[in-house]
């Protein structure tokens, strides 16, 4: 029997991931935990910070877009695996002729698309009500694509726990996500942070998303642009590799 062509294997794996992504989008985008933790909570959280205070658009718009990207992209992943374990469909997916890599990639792509679509809303509001202009459009597009991929990969990694309760998975993901928003220069620009704050900010991928947004919209970034982009690529690879490793480890335990 002849070996299949590498390109045919690639397109077969990609088509499998796209099917998984479509399934996740139709089922999980409208789930209450995704709506609450992915859209409503970050919106109300940021409004509580901004209302009644004279917050400039330099802080408001990049902060809103960053939080939207972060929470929406990473809110779908932690829900998928626990929910499917509860519904007993996870085992059925594993018996289909697609690899674990394709399955995880499909889950990550679902969060990726969701994050991009929802984050366009605060960006549009910035254009409409705050007269925000895009100074570096290609940088903005690249930032949103890389950031959404990075955060969706983080969400898939957080879904690898063995729990079958979606509420427990969402709470675990919140324990990881919420501390990051306070060390990433969202509420206080990196320029105004003390030295120890600037050091801590480097461990958060959200820092580089926010910095790139300020550069894209206001031509005012703290880090060199290539460093922001490079760090988002590194975090994306790190989170996706971690997701693959953890899912494979828990799968072996289940067997």
Q: How confident is the model at residue 229 (pLDDT cuts 50, 70, 90)?
A: very high
Alpha-carbon Rg of the chain, whole angstroms? 19
Mean local confidence (pLDDT), 100-104: 85
Mean predicted confidence (pLDDT) in 6-11: 64
User: Could you tell me the pLDDT band of residue 1, with boundaries at 50, 70 and 90?
Assistant: very low
The whole-number pLDDT of residue 2 equals: 44
Average pLDDT over residues 197-207: 93
Give me the pLDDT at residue 239, please: 94
Q: Are 63 and 210 in contact (CB under 8 A)?
A: yes
Sole residue written with tokens 């959404």: 148
Long-range contacts of 8-14 (CB under 8 A, 24+ apart): 13/98, 13/99, 13/101, 13/102, 13/105, 14/102
Which whole number is the average pLDDT over 72-98?
76
Q: What is the mean pLDDT of the chain?
A: 83
pLDDT of residue 24: 83
Highest mean pLDDT among 72-76, 102-106, 234-238: 234-238
115-119, 225-229, 239-243, 245-249: range with lowest mean pLDDT:
245-249
**Residue 255 — very low, low, confident or very high, per pLDDT cuts 50/70/90?**
low
Confidence band for 8, pLDDT divided at 50, 70 and 90: low
Confidence check: pLDDT of 252 > 60: no
Does position 5 have pLDDT exceeding 80, yes or no? no
The predicted structure's pLDDT at residue 231? 96
Q: What confidence tier does 143 reach under pLDDT thresholds 50, 70, 90?
A: very high
Better pLDDT: 2 or 97:
97
Residue with tokens 């690529």: 233
């Amino acid at each position: 029997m002849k070996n299949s062509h590498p390109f045919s294997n690639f397109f077969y794996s990609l088509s499998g991931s796209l099917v998984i992504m479509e399934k996740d989008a139709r089922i999980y985008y409208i789930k209450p935990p995704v709506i609450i933790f992915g859209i409503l909570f970050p919106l109300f959280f940021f409004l509580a910070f901004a209302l009644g205070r004279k917050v400039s658009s330099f802080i408001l718009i990049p902060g809103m877009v960053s939080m939207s990207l972060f929470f929406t992209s990473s809110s779908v992943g932690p829900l998928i695996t626990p929910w499917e374990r509860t519904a007993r469909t996870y085992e059925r997916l594993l018996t289909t002729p697609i690899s674990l890599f394709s399955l995880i990639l499909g889950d990550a792509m679902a969060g990726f698309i969701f994050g991009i679509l929802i984050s366009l809303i605060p960006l549009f509001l910035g254009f409409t009500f705050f007269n925000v202009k895009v100074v570096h459009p290609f940088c903005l597009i690249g930032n949103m694509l890389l950031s959404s991929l990075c955060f969706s990969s983080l969400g898939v990694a957080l879904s690898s726990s063995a729990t079958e309760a979606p509420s427990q998975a969402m709470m675990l993901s919140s324990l990881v996500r919420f501390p990051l928003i306070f060390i990433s220069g969202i509420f206080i620009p990196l320029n105004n942070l003390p030295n120890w704050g600037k050091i801590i900010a480097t461990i958060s991928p959200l820092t580089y998303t926010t910095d790139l947004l300020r550069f894209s919209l206001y031509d005012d970034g703290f880090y060199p642009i290539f460093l922001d982009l490079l760090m988002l690529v590194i975090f994306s690879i790190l989170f996706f590799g971690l997701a693959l490793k953890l899912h494979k480890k828990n799968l072996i335990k289940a067997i």
